[in-house]
């Protein structure tokens, strides 16, 4: 056991102590903002952050809504979406018994968003409204039992559902 004498303690007090201060700056936070618009540009949606999910739907209702063989939609938290412009609404029951409300441009009729009463607090935007070739790819391909036989949704990270 070693003991410190008063002289040693006084010497330690006089000796300058070097303290390296390391300041770590946080990584910059990148907030992604995406703009979706109707065809005529009268209605726009600004979506902040990444989508909760991007999915392809082959359901008959999705085919009719999109006017194509399938629809590709991105789902966002409601508080991350701001919609501006004149819209009309139309609600319809879905095959699973839920109700979907579509928000479309009052001028050109393009569907810009929709909500479903089974997904409270979420808004879905058709990916085509973003017209962004770098939009995240789908991770789900749904309603494949009604998929057109000539369609193939590929990708290692795509979950296929009937």
pLDDT tens for residues 64-121? Answer: 999 999 999 999 999 999 999 999 999 999 877 899 999 999 999 999 999 999 999 9
Specify if 14 maps to a domain.
no
Specify if 142 maps to a domain.
yes
Q: What is the pLDDT of residues 52-65, one digit of tens each?
A: 999 999 999 899 99
Residue 9 has pLDDT above 60, yes or no: no
Specify if 1 maps to a domain.
no
- In this prediction the pTM is 0.79
Total tally of structural domains belonging to the chain: 1
Residue 19 has pLDDT above 80, yes or no: no
Specify if 3 maps to a domain.
no
Domain that holds residue 36: 32-160
Specify if 155 maps to a domain.
yes
Question: Which residues have CB under 8 Å from 58's CB, separation 6+?
Answer: 69, 70, 141, 142, 143, 144, 145, 146, 147, 148, 151
Specify if 11 maps to a domain.
no
If DSSP codes are grouped into helix, strand and coil, which group holds residue 66?
Answer: helix
If DSSP codes are grouped into helix, strand and coil, which group holds residue 94?
Answer: coil
CA dist., res. 71 & res. 45, Å (int): 18
Question: Where residue 73 sits, what CATH number does that domain have?
Answer: 3.90.1590.10
């Amino acid at each position: 056991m070693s003991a410190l004498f008063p002289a040693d303690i006084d010497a330690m007090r006089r000796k300058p102590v070097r303290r390296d201060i390391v300041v770590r700056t946080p990584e910059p936070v990148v907030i992604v903002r995406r703009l979706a618009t109707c065809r005529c540009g009268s209605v726009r949606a600004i979506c902040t952050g990444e989508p909760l999910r991007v999915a392809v739907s082959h359901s008959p209702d999705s085919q009719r809504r999109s006017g194509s063989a399938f629809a590709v939609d991105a789902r966002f938290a409601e508080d991350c979406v701001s919609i501006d412009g004149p819209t009309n609404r139309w609600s319809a029951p879905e095959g699973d018994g839920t109700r979907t409300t579509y928000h479309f441009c009052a001028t050109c009729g393009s569907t810009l968003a929709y909500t479903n009463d089974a997904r409270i607090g979420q808004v879905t935007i058709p990916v085509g409204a973003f017209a962004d070739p770098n939009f995240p790819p789908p991770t789900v391909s749904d309603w494949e039992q009604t998929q057109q036989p000539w369609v193939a949704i590929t990708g290692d990270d795509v979950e296929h559902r009937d």
